[in-house]
Copies of this chain bind each other. A is one copy, B any other.
Amino acid sequence: MSPPQIKVGILGATGTVGQRFIELLATHPYFSIHALGASARSAGQQYASVVRWKLASPIPDHVRSMVVQECTPGAGGFAECGVVFSGLDADVAGDIEHAFRAADLIVYSNAKNYRRDPLCPLIVPLVNPAHLAIIPHQRQQLGLEKGYIVTNANCSTTGLVVPLAALEKAFGPLETVMVTTLQAISGAGYPGVSSLDIMDNVVPLISGEEDKIEWETNKILGGVTPDNKAFDLHAPKQINVSATCTRVPVIDGHTGCVSVKFTKSPPPSIAEVQKAFREYTCEAQQLGVPSAPAQAIVVHDAPDRPQPRLDKNLHNGACVSVGRIRECPVFDVKFVCLIDNVRLGAATSSIINAEIAVEKGLIV
């Protein structure tokens, strides 16, 4: 039985991630868009008149004339929202999300600000929705009845940890992960990357990105302590992760070139690894939430796949593609992974996380 329609707000509604939230939520079976928040400059005006809409699908009709609000919990409509999605930039997300939670509202955020907070779950929906178990503790610590913050991971982290989760599920803890990413321009928002910087070019730096991958991976792949009050950060032993992140002239879709070493010895064979990827299933699928992909991981047999332009759309951008699974002369196994950074890497993750929370009674 489908749950009752839940009113939702969107913070940062005019931004790149905000536009994706609108596109994905416009016809959602659980959620209906009720309030849009943006900067004071846009507040009070109709959405279509202030947004620089950059998606290839048009602005949903009923959203065009919605009046944009300031991003304060008291602004029209947010108080009635069962959940507020945040696509805010990191420079403002910290304070605004804090204020919304303090007003006893529920925030599912794509921003980085609370990812390392010991009270806030950092959830990749195809990996660790079990981390939602900490929410009662978060509410209790803050003296809130309803409000809390859940974050999703950095886009390139998300593309990496889904296949890593499949490997750990099948073969036990990983010891070492090396990854080089080739990331799309859309990851930098709009206007984001200047065309003079990236056309016919590679920029071998994305500020802060490598540290995010190296840190977030252990929180996501770790567990919750038995008392549901803390994250174990992949105890007893963290995975040793080394990341190099580059920007390439691709519009959407982050590619990762990965090599991993298992703690298990001897390591699994290539065939076993392929099987583990193919057979990986996750709680989002078991719960049957509407935005969960039919397959969490699509394994490509063609030797030159996955490719961002051709494969990012699989399962509406809600899965991770994996290919070129082969032995590594240095570690155990190498593979290439691909994520749609603007969907599973951003808005789609927040939405699936919230869908799971609905099923678990954490959004009502």
Q: Is B336 touching A259 in the complex (CB atoms < 8 A)?
A: no
- Report chain B residues within 8 Å CB of A95: none
Chain B residue at minimum C-beta to C-beta distance from A243: B329
In the assembled complex, A328 has its CB within 8 A of some CB on chain B: yes
Instruction: Bits for A317-343, please: 1 = Cβ < 8 Å to B, else 0.
Output: 000000110001111001010000000
Q: Is A185 touching B195 in the complex (CB atoms < 8 A)?
A: yes
Which of A31-39, A103-111, A128-136, A308-316 sits within the interface? A308-316
Q: Is B306 touching A200 in the complex (CB atoms < 8 A)?
A: no
- Nearest chain B CB to A333 CB, angstrom units: 11
- Report chain B residues within 8 Å CB of A249: 195, 199-200, 248-250
Contact partner of A196 (CB less than 8 A), chosen from B180, B192, B205, is B192
Residues of chain A in range 201-247 having any CB-CB distance to chain B below 8 Å? 201-205, 214, 240-242, 244, 246
- Report chain B residues within 8 Å CB of A244: 180, 257, 259, 324, 334, 336
- Report chain B residues within 8 Å CB of A185: 195-196, 199
Contact partner of A56 (CB less than 8 A), chosen from B192, B203, B246, B313, is B313
Once A180-B180, A330-B176 are accepted as A-B contacts, the answer to whether A314 and B201 lie under 8 Å apart by CB is no
| Complex Cα–Cα for A204 and B323 (A) | 9
In the assembled complex, A42 has its CB within 8 A of some CB on chain B: no
- Report chain B residues within 8 Å CB of A66: none
In the assembled complex, A361 has its CB within 8 A of some CB on chain B: no
| Complex Cα–Cα for A303 and B246 (A) | 12
Residues of chain A in range 40-90 having any CB-CB distance to chain B below 8 Å? 54-58
In the assembled complex, A178 has its CB within 8 A of some CB on chain B: yes
Once A204-B336, A257-B246 are accepted as A-B contacts, the answer to whether A194 and B193 lie under 8 Å apart by CB is yes
- Report chain B residues within 8 Å CB of A240: 329-330
Chain B residue at minimum C-beta to C-beta distance from A53: B310
- Report chain B residues within 8 Å CB of A312: 56
| Complex Cα–Cα for A257 and B176 (A) | 17
Q: Is B196 touching A58 in the complex (CB atoms < 8 A)?
A: no
- Report chain B residues within 8 Å CB of A54: 196-197, 310
Residues of A whose CB lies within 8 Å of any CB of B are 54-58, 176, 178, 180, 182, 185-186, 190-205, 214, 240-242, 244, 246, 248-251, 253, 255, 257, 259, 303-314, 323-324, 328-331, 334, 336
